[in-house]
Amino acid sequence: MKDFTPKHEFFVGIDSDGCVFDTMEVKHKECFIPAFVNFYELQGVSKYAREAAEFVNLYSKSRGINRFPALVEQLDWLRRRPEVKARGVRVPRPEGVINWIEQETKLGNPALERATEATGDPDLMKALEWSRAVNEAIADMVRGVPPFPNVKKCLEKLGERSDMLVVSATPNAALEAEWQEHGVADYVRAICGQESGTKKETLVVAGQYDPNKAMMIGDAPGDHKAAVANNCLFFPINPGQEEASWKRLLDEGIDRFFAGTFAGDYQQQLVDEFNQYLPATPPWPVDSK
């Protein structure tokens, strides 16, 4: 991306999972969580492990974050649950993963493989085995999930005047497969997944455009934070209201973006509505750490 140069007047970054494709539920419930229970020996509290993982990755303000910080967070919530403590099941705290996350920005398997080889850390090895199992499960399970209605129409309309990038925390291989499978890869100039860096890092290219002519489209608070950090506008795809959100973008959001009337009251209204959708804390009691 360091060689990226504008070809159009406008720029649009677009998240993928849960935003363009309705793949969040199937990936986490059928791929991530079974591997989580298996690799972290959580069979004795599988019900609570599932609830913690679903909360972090789907139903909280952490929705859409990279899989490795999400892994640490869901283990933390699970460890603090009274019912889990009562059952005497040990929930690990992967210190090696925590330290790696603090030092690395390209939080994907290639960087994790290098760190594992360099250190031999057992926490890193387990996280890598879990992540590989997740990727295998996704490759085997996830197919035939088309973009939300009106996504293609929005991409066509935006593409007439915008440079577009996929900006995602999903591995590149999975992104390439999904965007190619459904015939939408040609709308974007590049597909940037977790190996490219964080969403905040990828969106740095937006700095080459006028702030009112750069926008991020996403379904998670992390997308909004990345947009704010790079002085981008933000159009939310509200969780559970994805179809309505894409219709709104098609009917009014894109026209406002191109007309220069997106920033200000309209942007604030969108963000205020978006912030009401996801809680910061789980619906069950938690003990102090």
pLDDT at 116: 98
pLDDT at 288: 76
Q: Which of the 8 DSSP states describes residue 218?
A: E
pLDDT tens across 76-122, in order?
A: 999 999 999 999 999 999 999 999 999 998 999 999 999 999 999 99
Is pLDDT above 90 for 284? yes
Q: Where are the domains of the chain?
A: 10-22+147-275, 24-141
Beta strands 190-192 and 214-218 are unpaired
Of 47, 52, 48, the closest CA to residue 77 belongs to 52
**How many residues appear in the chain?**
289
pLDDT tens across 73-87, in order?
A: 999 999 999 999 999
**CATH numeric code, 10-22+147-275:** 3.40.50.1000
pLDDT tens across 233-243, in order?
A: 999 999 999 99
Q: Which of the 8 DSSP states describes residue 21?
A: B
**How many other β-carbons are positioned within 10 Å of the β-carbon of residue 56?**
25
pLDDT at 47: 97
Q: Which of the 8 DSSP states describes residue 240?
A: T
pTM of the predicted structure, to 2 decimals: 0.88
Instruction: Out of 6-15, 130-139, 194-203, 213-222, pick the least confident.
Output: 194-203
Is pLDDT above 90 for 194? no
Q: Which of the 8 DSSP states describes residue 58?
A: T
Identity (one letter) of the amino acid at 201?
Answer: E
pLDDT tens across 35-55, in order?
A: 999 999 999 999 999 999 999
pLDDT at 1: 64
